């Protein structure tokens, strides 16, 4: 089995229309990586598949202040 060490297929959030709060998500194995579009050199953080699913569910349930 090959272990994926770098995220691939980075995508910018569709909610990042005004350019002031942009994030990108990349695939990392079966999890995800997240980075700030304006500061890619700062790196990224990674999540497990379960963490990513819980985060997406919380976003869809509007559990974060906007």
- Whether residue 66 is contained in a domain is answered as no
Contacts of 30 (CB under 8 A, 6+ apart): 49
Q: Evaluate whether residue 24 is within a structural domain.
A: yes
If one counts the domains in the chain, the total is: 1
Q: Is residue 55 part of a domain?
A: yes
pLDDT of amino acid 45 = 93
Q: Does some domain include residue 37?
A: yes
Which pLDDT value is given to residue 17? Answer: 66
Over 80: is that where the pLDDT of 66 sits?
Answer: no
| Residue pair 7/28 in contact by the 8 Å Cβ criterion | yes
2 part of a folded domain: no
Tell me if the pTM is above 0.75: no
Range of the domain at 54: 8-60
Question: pLDDT tens digits for 10-64?
Answer: 998 776 666 667 889 999 888 899 999 888 899 999 999 999 999 989 989 999 8
> Is residue 1 scored above 50 in pLDDT?
no
């Amino acid at each position: 089995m090959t272990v994926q060490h770098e995220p691939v297929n980075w995508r910018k959030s569709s909610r990042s229309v005004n350019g002031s709060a942009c994030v990108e998500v990349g695939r990392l194995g079966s999890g995800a990586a997240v980075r700030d579009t304006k500061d890619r050199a700062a790196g990224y953080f990674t999540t497990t598949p379960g963490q990513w699913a819980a985060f997406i569910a919380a976003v869809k349930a509007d559990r974060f202040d906007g």
